[in-house]
Structure 1
């Protein structure tokens, strides 16, 4: 059949890297790993950060099955770095042994990275530790990376749409969390950074994702929820979100338009409070104009 858009973009990227004679490139898998377009590359280092229940219709409905798909990026002789935990870890380790990986580095949960990352949230500290482990794996392969460059890179890293802080009264947090694991990470970061503030959730997501898991992680933190729908045919109806709010006893207002929902959140949230826009990257995109130029600065620099 015809190649997908992602396959075409991957091919174009690889051609561009060849044209520019790139020495090293970091390729992020689009979906899964084993059958992903990026897996045509014989990678020197295979990195699997963590395993969560997402895209279960394509990758399988257990952590072990999804881990098997992601472990498909491991090639003979490559170095493997992972932050996965059981039961996914066992699958990844078995694959590395069977395929013949040259080394295996496990980054355990709760580890403190050598260098402080500029990205907020406990999960970003784990990601930073994984990145440092990748640098060590590259050094073992003869690539010289200055420690000061690692420190600077982690300190200056920015990731729009992941606990992105937009200063104001109230503060606005943009996070595209759309599965249970991402929502739990967001909830942990909110408790850590804003333990006493009143939180308004502007929440909308796609129907293909697990509302219950995300709601259970985030809704209990909210003083109120403004339910909305991303501008996409696959968006979850607002009444489904309202039903989950009612189940948890969280006050909810339903407004179909994302821009109007955000305006309502600004109206009802106290100046010392926090507005969290979450549930879908589509929703963040819909609100780009409403957020204005403030969102162009990815993170609070203080």
Structure 2
């Protein structure tokens, strides 16, 4: 693919989950072998995952590439109001990323800094400024208000697990109301299972188009995943789901929008 157009001096391969299996494979080791195609002889390879698939490190060994793994060469220690980062060529105490929340981002930050350190003189103050201002819209993105809205493009099992962990740690003053629409090639059951313990009420939105999932299928899969029927509200499309979320949510509640880039983009367009 496009990442193989050049022979890069460094590569960062982030955590690998199950997605796009029709193209990449049906288990993480098979997908990892595909991703390992960007590794080059003698390259620096940075892995923000503490437990990467064996196929990545095996391919790096075959090519004589040097692997820097999160928790090994890439260290991040979380403190109450900051993070201490130690990677080859750079160490600093930095603010927690306010616009890219979640501990899963620490490995990404460590890998990026380690990849840049051999070629750039990294200044801690400038790095801190970048950490404060860098954002990735629609990843654990909160919009304050009554109710509070949280947007996250979680659309597979791995990202649903991250979203569930974030919700579990959030201050909760009212209900968590999900507004969820998913494409048909995603693992609906796994996504539901990760998030069901955190969600009090589900508003399901059908998505049109050749890859969309109608709301009847979404609801059936939710029930199969163990979600009680009385917690499910079915809507044919995003506008109807958004209307119901606005009507249902009380000031102390949080509306959590997820399931697809399509879903999040459509709701954001209406909400902002």
TM category, shorter: 0.7 to 0.9
Residue in structure 1 matching 2:186, options 209, 212, 233: 209
Residue in structure 2 matching 1:49, options 5, 9, 14: 14
TM-score by length of 1: 0.78
The 8 Å contact of residues 226 and 253 in structure 1, kept in 2 or not, is answered as yes
Asked if 1:261 is matched to 2:224, the reply is no
> Is the 2:13–2:35 Cα contact (8 Å) retained in structure 1?
yes
8 Å contact kept, 2:15–2:52: no
Report how many aligned residue pairs link the two structures. Answer: 252
Q: Which residue of structure 2 lines up, in the alignment, with residue 271 of structure 1?
A: 251
Superposed counterparts of 1:227-266, under 5 Å: 227-246=204-223, 247-249=226-228, 251-266=231-246
Cα contact 1:198–1:274 (8 A) shared by 2: yes
Equivalent residue, structure 2, for 1:157:
134
Unaligned runs of at least 5 residues, structure 2? 78-82, 85-93
Partner Cα separation in structure 1 for residue 147 and residue 181 of structure 2: 20
> 1:59, 1:65 within 8 Å by CA — same for their partners in 2?
yes
Q: Are the counterparts in 2 of residues 81 and 130 from structure 1 also a CA contact under 8 Å?
A: no
Cα deviation, residue 231, structure 1: 4.0
Paired residue for 1:174?
A: 151
3-state SS of paired residue (1:184): helix
Q: What is the correspondence of 1:1-302 to structure 2 with a 5 Å cutoff? A: 36-86=1-51, 88=53, 90-101=54-65, 103-108=66-71, 111-112=76-77, 113-114=83-84, 115=94, 116-122=96-102, 125-140=103-118, 142-195=119-172, 197-246=174-223, 247-249=226-228, 251-292=231-272
| Contact kept? 1:206, 1:235, Cα under 8 Å | yes
The TM-score normalised by the length of structure 2 is: 0.86
Counterparts of 1:196 and 1:72, CA distance in 2 = 47
Distance of 1:291 and 1:84 partners within structure 2: 34
How far off is 1:85 after superposition?
4.6
Q: Are the equivalent residues in 2 in contact too, given 1:64–1:87 (CA < 8 A)?
A: no
Q: Per the alignment, in what secondary structure is the counterpart of residue 186 of structure 1? A: helix
1:226-251 residue CA offsets vs partner (Å, 9 max, x unmatched) = 11023433111111221233332151
1:275 is paired with a residue of what secondary structure? strand
What SS does the corresponding residue of 1:248 show, helix, strand or coil? coil
Deviation (angstroms), 1:42: 1.2
Which structure dedicates a bigger proportion of its chain to strand? 2
**RMSD (CA atoms):** 2.0
